[in-house]
Amino acid sequence: MNKNKTKVFKKSDIFYHIVKGWRLIVISTLIGLVVGVSIIGFGYVRGEMTREYKITSSVAVIAVNSLGRYSENSKEPYKSDIDFARGFTDSAIYIIKSQRNMEAVVEELGLQNISAGDISRNLNVSRYNETEIIELTLLWRTEKEGLEIMDAITKVSHRTMIATEKIGGVAVINEPKANFIVGGNISLSTWIYAAVAGFVAGVVFCILRFLLATTVINEIDLEEVFSIDSLGSVPLNVNYARSKPLSEEAKVIQDEIKSVTHLLLNRLEMAKANKLYITSTENAEGKSRLIADIALQFSDLGKKTLLIDCNFKNPMLGALFSDDLTYIQSLNALYRGESDKLDAIVSINGCLDLLPTVLEEEPASLNDAMLGQLAAVMEGYDYVLIDTSPVGVDAQVLRLNEITDTMVYVIKCDATKVEDIKNALFRISKSGIPVAGGIFNCVVNWRQTILNTPKRLTASLQREAKKRAADLKKEKKKTERALSKAKIEASVDGENAAQTSENTSSAKPDKKAQKEQKKAEKLALKETRKAEKEAQKQAQKEAKEKAEKEAKEKAEQEAEEKAEKEAKEKAEKEAKEKAEKEAKEKAKQKAQKNSDKKKKKSKGKSKK
């Protein structure tokens, strides 16, 4: 294997890791949201302390002289005056924000410790839609002083224009108005920006994690990156992972296992090999379960097969097939001479035998004696399949090369780093054992996962509802039994009290017995009422849940109907638009043909 081959990143790989890290992205987004809200809260407190206000006003530029007259000494403006004002507006904006004008405002109000620059920095002047109207906005720390400054700006600006341009001025449209700003200059949309920043940070982290710790998520990488011929892929299935090889649940991915088995069998027949072991880079990549299912498929094809568990540090095969195996039925006992071949090997079916291993404090090793024992056991079988420890964890696995013909390598989807797999395969290639192929295990179809998420959630809710309904029924029965028991106990206590009363009728009445009887009757009545109340509450709860379930189903049905109706309307609209388009196209073509005919006709006439 060439260690220098590099993995080519695909867009789908990055998208997969983003989808995979959705929890991290959601948490990051929520953290950003919390930070944004905190900033707004801090800004609000800061705003309360600084008392910052937004002072707004608007004025119109007018073309008047120092006497307040328009052109031709008129009191009313002509159209030329309005046009002049619009053309003068940009100059007016410059004059309003000029240093001379700001200094005149400070002098007008007699402001102390406030400079013209302070006002200019907090003043925003803008033109409204290319008209002669100017909008003014001033951010100031106090409401009263801000209103006074804004009022002075409009008055002083009029005088400055007359003094500098000899014409022009401003007329107030909207009187200065003050609005308190929450948090000063901090916008309420800050939380949105913070949430977006959190979302982006989560996405970037997922991408960086993928780039820095690259794993395998495409079967094609087995050949392109690791130079291993793929035997196929096995999808991730929770029910399969929890089942045992001989159970019904194990059949959910039987087709994939069959495909892998047939490819492997063809490779073995072509190489004339019948002894192989299976390994991986790390633990928990699913190789033990795969080799067990492949061995079963071999036996179903009529191949006399021996399955051996040489994973001494973490044996799994025995537990997969049976829960009541004894020590005598193990490779450990056979190796120590405490059992013979007939007792140690367990028959699974007519064509499949199993030689399991039990976990010990001092695990066995693949020494010469163990290899000799294994070689002797292998005789008489069509195929021998051996489960081992991961070669990336325990290098002594490679000693099996002495008694086997080939090996199969398992890579779990999105589990082990690419570099670790390369190192393990490099070690295998150096040992000289040929690799029959690789199996890509626990493959996640993220596209299907996203599409099936609503279905899974619905199924989960339905299971939860059924479970709750069953629990309610149990509680109801329990309450009814408690109620019945309380009634029986009350009846028995009453009878006992009556009997006691009869026995002591000739003697002096027993006040203590009467008191005990009353106490028992009260207790029984209390228990009865309590049980009835609980039963009533339970019934109300069930009715409420039933009503909610019916409402939910009705809403879902209405949503489906609405979606179908919208889809139908959309399809009809598209068909209508298409028909209209085709009709227009035909009409256009027809008009073009008629035009061509007329041109030809006129051309013929001109020639004549």
Q: Does residue 323 fall inside a structural domain?
A: yes
Confidence of residue 506 (pLDDT cuts 50, 70, 90): very low
The predicted pLDDT at position 464 comes to: 73
What are the Cα distances from residue 7, in Å, to 24, 280, 411, 413? 25, 19, 15, 15
Which CATH number characterizes residue 146's domain?
Answer: 3.30.70.1130
Query: Does the residue 87 lie in any domain?
Result: yes
**Of 497, 490, 524, whose CA–CA distance to 513 is shortest?**
497
Residue % of the chain over a pLDDT of 90: 39
Tell whether 100 and 118 lie within a shared domain.
Answer: yes
Q: Is residue 449 part of a domain?
A: no
Residues 62 and 25 in one domain: no
Whether residue 254 is contained in a domain is answered as yes
How many structural domains is the chain composed of?
Answer: 4
Q: Are residues 327 and 383 both part of a single domain?
A: yes
Domain presence at residue 326: yes
pLDDT score of 186 more than 60: no
In terms of pTM, does the model score above 0.75? Answer: no
357: in domain: yes
By the 8 A CB rule, do 107 and 160 touch?
A: no
Q: Which long-range contacts (CB under 8 A, 24 or more apart) does 2-10 make?
A: 2/227, 3/422, 3/423, 3/426, 5/224, 5/225, 5/226, 5/227, 5/422, 6/225, 7/214, 7/216, 7/221, 7/225, 7/418, 8/224, 9/211, 9/214, 10/218
118-122, 203-207, 209-213, 279-283: which range is least confident on average?
209-213
Together in a domain, 347 and 435 = yes
Model pLDDT for residues 391-430, shown as the tens digit of each residue: 999 999 999 999 999 999 999 988 888 899 999 999 999 9
> Is residue 226 located within the same domain as residue 341?
yes
* CATH classification at residue 395: 3.40.50.300
For residues 247 and 358, state if they share a domain: yes
Q: Identify the domain containing residue 18 by its residue range.
A: 1-51+181-213
Final residue before a domain boundary, out of 116, 149, 177 = 177
Instruction: Tell me, yes or no, whether 161 and 296 share the same domain.
Output: no
Task: Give the whole-angstrom CA distance, residue 34 versus residue 40.
Answer: 10
> For position 7, what pLDDT does the model report?
54
Q: Indicate whether 509 pLDDT > 60.
A: no
* CB-CB contact of 142 with 155 (8 Å): no
Mean pLDDT computed over every residue of the chain: 83
292 plus 270 within the same structural domain: yes
264 shares a domain with 142: no
In a domain, 552, yes or no: no
Total count of residues recorded for the chain: 608
Q: Is residue 490 part of a domain?
A: yes
Same domain, 163 and 18: no
Distance CA 515, CA 497 (A): 10
Based on the fold, state whether residues 234 and 363 are members of the same structural domain. Answer: yes
Q: What percent of the chain has pLDDT over 70?
A: 86
Q: Are residues 316 and 398 in the same domain?
A: yes
